[in-house]
A = this chain, B = another copy of it.
Amino acid sequence: MLTRRPHGSHPPRPAVALLAGGVGAARFLRGLVRHVPQSRLTVAVNTGDDEEFYGLHVSPDLDTITYTLAGVVDPRQGWGLAGDSFAALGALARFYGAPWFRLGDRDLATHIFRTARLKQGAPLSAVTAEIARRFGVRARVLPMSDDRVRTFVRLKRGGLVPFQDYFVRRRFRARVQAIELRGLFRARPLPALLEAIARCAAVILAPSNPFVSLGPILRLSGVAAALRKVRPRVAAISPLIRGRAVKGPAHRMMRTLGHQPSALGVARLYRDVAGIFVLDRSDRRYAEAIERLGMRPIVTDILMNSEQAAARLAKVVLDAVGL
């Protein structure tokens, strides 16, 4: 006869939620999964960057996170599938002209599947879970919402363009006047996202762009309120080091959108929702000012130039929230 272990003798490992954009978040995730089993991990992902290419629904951030968790992401670019080929994309040029968004042949299968399932009426969250499962991912990967929120960028010169047009086609060189999140006010955050925030032992804001990666998630109705309730166990990681994003336009966006392009500027953006702010050693002069914002500053090396560096940073963040 089986005896049940007394309840509590093996307490479940603490659950962690990560709010994530794409490549920067994925880099941190590679470190985080060294300490947190995927089964205890929820990753809620920005879908404002989703775009239709060739009639296919592409979710760049969701795929980057899923491929990273599956260990199949292209290690060089940080997105797409390792070792993918580009024959279909080349052939699509016959119909659509030269491509500016790289979609590999194997990657295309994911978009074809997603598009077909959405067309059948499946919600994006269900399709995302199916894709993650087929890739052997055990973490829970959630789109921020099943409703469509679409990030547009208003350029100083060039008008209003969809995010991927700005980010990939124009290589984020154009000056940004404003970010517009279409559909934001109608969109409901995924219930599982609000639950994860309420229940997880820690919530981490990945070092992603505060406007176009985390912004869409944080501005969904109810998300900021849910974070405020658990603020002491919410840790945000600065996406800026010495006033610059490791990759991408975050620092330039901060400036043109009227924020100080520094770790302190980012901390100000997150002060209401995060009790802990993790910044780079080179930015330690901001620690005191961050403390005055009512946040606990954690100064460490945040540049993730290796998986080891990411794992070390993850450990520091987990320590900071007491895990």
* A interface residues with partner B (beta carbon < 8 Å): 54-56, 81, 84-85, 87-92, 94-96, 104-110, 112-113, 115-116, 119, 130-131, 134-135
Closest to A95 in B: B113
Question: Are A92's CB and B105's CB within 8 A?
Answer: no
Residues of chain B within 8 A (CB-CB) of A130 are 95
What would 24 A/B residue contacts be, using CB atoms closer than 8 Å?
A54-B112, A54-B113, A54-B116, A55-B115, A56-B112, A85-B85, A85-B87, A87-B87, A87-B104, A87-B106, A88-B88, A88-B105, A90-B106, A91-B105, A91-B108, A91-B109, A94-B109, A94-B135, A95-B110, A95-B113, A95-B130, A95-B131, A96-B113, A105-B105
In the assembled complex, the CB of A97 is this many whole angstroms from the nearest CB of chain B, namely: 11
| Main SS at interface, chain A | helix
Question: Are B85's CB and A105's CB within 8 A?
Answer: yes
Bound form: Cα–Cα A59–B106 in Å = 22
Top 6 closest pairs, chain A to chain B, by CB: A55-B116, A91-B109, A87-B105, A91-B106, A95-B113, A88-B105
Question: Are B109's CB and A92's CB within 8 A?
Answer: yes
Bound form: Cα–Cα A144–B85 in Å = 36
Residues of chain B within 8 A (CB-CB) of A108 are 88, 91, 108
In the assembled complex, the CB of A103 is this many whole angstroms from the nearest CB of chain B, namely: 10
Question: Are A112's CB and B84's CB within 8 A?
Answer: no
Residues of chain B within 8 A (CB-CB) of A94 are 109, 134-135
Interface-central residue, A54, A55, A85, by most chain B CB under 10 Å: A55
Residues of chain B within 8 A (CB-CB) of A91 are 81, 105-110
